[in-house]
A and B are shown apart, each in its own frame.
Chain A
Amino acid sequence: MEGAIPGFRKELVSKLLHLHFKDDKTRVSGDALHLLAELLKIFVVEAAIRSVRQAQAEDLTQVDVDQLEKVLPQLLLDF
Chain B
Amino acid sequence: EQPEFSYRQRLKAAVHYTAGCLCEEVASDKEVQFSRQTIAAISELTFRQCENFARDLEMFARHARRSTINTEDVKLLARRNHSLLKYITEKNEEITQCNLER
Contacts and interface: CB of A to CB of B under 8 A. Distances in A.
Nearest to B92: A35
Given A35-B91, A39-B88, A79 B81 contact: yes
A32 B74 CA distance: 6
Interface string B57-68: 110011000011
Nearest to B12: A16
Contacts of B99: 31
Nearest to B87: A42
Contacts of A15: 11
Given A12-B18, A65-B37, A78 B81 contact: yes
Given A21-B58, A26-B58, A79-B81, A44 B18 contact: yes
Contacts of B87: 42
A31 B78 contact: no
B73 A5 contact: no
Interface in A1-54: 5-9, 12, 15-23, 25-29, 31-32, 34-36, 38-45, 47-49, 51-52
Contact of B46 (A44, A51, A52, A56): A44
A17 to B, nearest CB: 4
Given A16-B15, A27-B69, A48-B42, 10 more contacts: A9-B14, A20-B55, A22-B55, A29-B71, A31-B99, A34-B95, A35-B74, A47-B45, A55-B32, A62-B35
Interface of A: 5-9, 12, 15-23, 25-29, 31-32, 34-36, 38-45, 47-49, 51-52, 55-56, 61-65, 67-68, 72, 78-79
